[in-house]
Structure formats: C-alpha cells, structure tokens
A and B are shown apart, each in its own frame.
Chain A
Amino acid sequence: MENQLKNAIRKLLEEKTVAVAIGYGRVGVDGAVGAIFVTNPDDVERLVWNSQCRQNLAVHLTRPEVKALGKPAVVVKGCDARAVVTLCNEAQIARENVYVVGVVCEGIVQADAAGAPTDKLCDKCLSCVEHAAKNVDLLIGDPAKAQELDNQNAPNAKTVGNQAKLAKLRAMSQPERFAYWREQFSKCIRCHACRQNCPLCYCNRCVADKNRPTRIDSSASLKGNFAWNILRAFHLAGRCVGCGACSAACPAGIELDLLNLTLANAAEEQFGYVSGRELGQAPLIGSYALTDKEDFIR
C-alpha cells in the first residue's frame, strides 16, 4: 500500500497535477511520524503509511505557508477526509484546488506520554465505519478490506470507544460530571495545541486571541480554561468530524474529543447531520430546514 501511495504521488508531482504533496514521513524522534511536504518526485521515498499516521493532515491546507507552495495533494484517512469536505463546504478551500488522496486505514494506534506508539487502537477507530476515505480523487488500498472492517464495526459504532466513554460521563450526576471536567480543565496550559492541530479551527483570528473586548481570559486559570475549552467545543458544534487531532495533540491529555462528540451526537440526533459526510452539504449552523425542531423555543 505504501508503494502504491508513493507511485501515485510521484505521478501527481511528475505530471504537475499538484505542486506539493502533504503526506506522512518519519520526521520525529525515533522515526515518529509527522507531516512531510514533498515537492520533488524523487523525494516520494520519504512517504510512509502505517498505523502511526495519527495527525490529520488537512490542518495544513489552510496554513498560509503551505498555500504558498501551490496546489496540494493531501493524504487522508476516512476521518480526515471528512475534514476536507467540511473545509470545502465552509468555503475555506475549493474542492478542485486540492487533490485528495484517500487511504484505506485499518486503524491508528495511540501514542504514549512520550509520543511513542503503543499497540492500542485510538478510541475513535473502535467505532470507525469509514475505513476507506470518501469524497477522494484517488483511493489507495483495498476497498473490500475497508468494507469488511466497516461491517465489523457498524453494529457497535454507537456504543464503543469514545461513545462508551461518553455514555459513562453522561450517566454521572451533574456535579460528578462537572468535577470530571474541572479536573480535566485544571490541566490545561492554554498552549492551544488543540486549536492549532484542528483542521476546522481555521479562524484567522480566534475569539480566544481577540481582546477588543476580551471574551475569554487568556490565562490558564480555571475560569479561562473552562471558557476556552467550552467555547471551542461550541464553535465546533455540527462541524467537528471526530478526527481526534485535538486530544492527540493535547500535552495535558485532556479528553477534548469527548466534549466535541457530545455536540456531534446532538447534531446527528437532533438534525440528522454528520459533518463532512457529503460535499455540498450546507453547514448545520448556517442552514435552516422546515423540518428543524422548534420545541426548544419557549
């Protein structure tokens, strides 16, 4: 599969279909996997595809330094592909201006405290039913394998992994749940790794960075931390694709994906909306249907 990927990207670069390919390479300590930006077809050998390709590379599509390189190809997993779709649906990128190389992903492993791979699958992968990336220009890997894995996961998709964790949280009393988040947010150092690693946190100037007026204290105090993390979750309501980039990047190990999943579940349950499912889908918050519920209006 890795060779298939390298060949495909070599061709894209040689034929000048794209100017740069954003893929995974062994760039970190002990060969840790991170983004690489391949512009020369001879460099495709640096590309890798394995169960450590945790990062959502769609985050780079809106970075000005990367945009300056020209039309990109981007390697995406099923979850990452939804982020590309949402970026298109939110008019941040034009679909024709990016070449999406999807991969069949059999699951990504968690990293330990030092970023080294473990043998445990990420929580999001346990409930994944998109092992083959969708809405792509090219799919690398065996779609039949992906279908098989999708079928395996489908029956339990709403009850395992993060959904199971969330169900546990929701079963708590309100004070218990508050205590849980208080403990989580007390670890937050406001490095904003969650935001910077999130493909959908593309705001030119984040509300957390605005000071006219200051709506969120920039301090890593409990007050500032609650305001920041909850506001970010709200801004991702109906937008978060559940790729888990935020939690994976959080140096304090805060389970941010649970916060986002709460709202993603609400979007699906209340409006039948899944972010990034199809191109051309109007943003949930920015659209209105006659069938939308109104029972919350009192």
Chain B
Amino acid sequence: MENIYKPDPMEVVEVHQQTADVKLVRIKFRDPEKNANFKFNIGQFGLYSVFGVGESTFNICCSNSKDYIEFCFRKTGRVTERLWDVEPGDTIGFRGPFGNSYPMDAWEGKNLVFVAGGIAMPPIRCAIQYALENRDKYGKITIVYGARTVGDLVCKDELDEWAKAPNVDVLKTVDVAPPEGTPWNGRVDFVPTVLKDAGITGENTIALVVGPPIMIKLSLPILVDAGLKDEDIFTSLENRMKCGLGKCGRCNCGSVYVCKEGPVFTQADIKKMPDDF
C-alpha cells in the first residue's frame, strides 16, 4: 500500500532571494515521469521537507502551465531556517498537491481584484500568473500589493512585468516611506487605503484577498461597499498543519478542515466558521 506520508524527492532548480528573509524556490521531481505527469490546481498547497529537519506547508505559488513547482517562504522556524540554505541541485521533499483551489474557470469573464500584503503575495501569484497566461478569459485585473517597506515586497520584478499586460492595474504601496534617494514608483499608504482609491466596482467582479488579519479586516468593508458579495470575495487560509491529509487534527476551524476543505474560502464560508483563527 502507498505511504501517504512519504514525500517525493525533488531537485532544487532555482533559488531567488526576494527580501532579507524571503526566498522563492523552484523544484522539479527527481523522477522525470512524475514530473511530466504532475498536475495541480491553482491555489493548492504542498508540504515541503528538508529531510532530517521537518516539513512545512506552503502554497504552490506558480501557475500550473509549467513543468516545475515554485514555493515561497519566510525564514521563521526550524524548517525554513534550513530551507534558506538550499542551493540548486539539492534534494528536498514534496507532498501534494493538497486542498481545494481557486475556481479559475468560474471566474472567467469577470474582473479580478487581487489584494495582498507582505509575504501573502505568493498564494495570489499563482492566480495572477494563470489569469495573465489566459488573459482573454478575464476582464480587468487590478492588483493591489503592499508591504511594510520597499525591501519587504516580494516578486518586485514581476509586478512591473504584470503592469505591462493589457488592462492590468498594478498598485504598489508601502507602509513606510523609503529613505530619500531610493527609487520607488509606488505609493506610501496602507493597502486598504490604496484599494479604496482603486475605483473597484462590484459588478461582475471577484476579489482575492490574502494578507495579515488587520489588512483583511480593513479591506473587506471596502470591497463590500464597492458592491462585492461575500460569495465573490475569496481568501486562502493558513493554519498550522502537519499531515495535509485531514488526519492529524490541528488545522480545523470548527468542523472545517482547512487542509482538506480549504485553504480557499469565500467570505461567505468564513462567516459560517467559528472564530478559531
């Protein structure tokens, strides 16, 4: 019988440092056949291992048209401290894909508003990449992304690339103004303020909001005021997980297992869940 807890060995292909403590890693299955057959849906997550150290949960942060997987992490704990040191050619483990996904098909024909704060860009990046790869299928795309400082923004180069695509607004912002002389073509404001100024209209619009709780809390009323319904506002939750398989019993909010029934939820779903976040 298959061992659901045994990861696949993956080769680290590329490592891109994003900020002082955030890296983006590209990996491929060591087994070429597995690599060719691997499929996942936008918004799903995986468990990434450094053998001898442990496993951590991250969203698969690239679109599913590639022949690789990318994930992004911040150096904060035991596993990520060791992940920080991986180099191309190294082997790490991967289990996945797990969880539900963003309904990219159902979103076709709609305007998309992506709102992210800090390290929460990666769980949205996969959807942005996918939407831009399928640009004709979606309406206007608005990306509001902020971090504390310019140095804390991840995927900085991509933000400028995305802005070049047709009918895409990229609104960058930082909480703290960069020191004088630092090149910065974005705003100095909190994400919700920038979102308010973005002129979102609720009609035929989907929003995907991921970030710190306070950012989400202040962004939601703006989207609701713009006319979005709770069913049209999506988020991706991040609870502590060990198995990713609905067994180990720690990621639940009430009767909802984030690993199996999430990580993607609408605001309408969240309102039904107990406040166990």
Contacts and interface: CB of A to CB of B under 8 A. Distances in A.
A/B: CB atoms within 8 Å of each other: yes
Interface of A: 211-212
Contacts of A212: 77-78, 81
5 contacts: A211-B54, A211-B78, A212-B77, A212-B78, A212-B81
A212 B53 CA distance: 9
Nearest to A210: B78
Nearest to A212: B78
A230 B81 CA distance: 29
Which 5 A-B pairs rank lowest in CB-CB distance, beginning with the nearest? A211-B78, A212-B78, A212-B81, A212-B77, A211-B54
Contacts of B78: 211-212
Nearest to B77: A212
A212 B84 CA distance: 14
Interface in B61-83: 77-78, 81
Contacts of B81: 212
A211 B78 CA distance: 7
Contacts of B54: 211
Nearest to A213: B78
Nearest to A211: B78
Interface of B: 54, 77-78, 81
A212 B78 CA distance: 6
Contacts of B77: 212
B54 to A, nearest CB: 8
Which of B54, B77, B78, B81 has the most CB atoms of chain A within a 10 A radius of its CB?
B78
A212 B80 CA distance: 11
A210 to B, nearest CB: 9
A212 B81 CA distance: 9
A211 B53 CA distance: 9
A1 B54 CA distance: 56
A60 B101 CA distance: 45
A212 B54 CA distance: 11
Contacts of A211: 54, 78
A95 B25 CA distance: 54
B78 to A, nearest CB: 5
A6 B39 CA distance: 69
Nearest to B54: A211
A1 to B, nearest CB: 45
A211 B77 CA distance: 9
B243 to A, nearest CB: 16
A276 to B, nearest CB: 36
A211 B80 CA distance: 12
A223 to B, nearest CB: 16
A211 to B, nearest CB: 5
B5 to A, nearest CB: 15
B111 to A, nearest CB: 45
Nearest to B81: A212
A59 to B, nearest CB: 26
A53 B81 CA distance: 47
B261 to A, nearest CB: 28
Nearest to B82: A212
Nearest to B79: A211
B81 to A, nearest CB: 7
A212 B77 CA distance: 8
B218 to A, nearest CB: 29
A211 B81 CA distance: 12
B242 to A, nearest CB: 12
A211 B50 CA distance: 14
A211 B56 CA distance: 14
A270 to B, nearest CB: 38
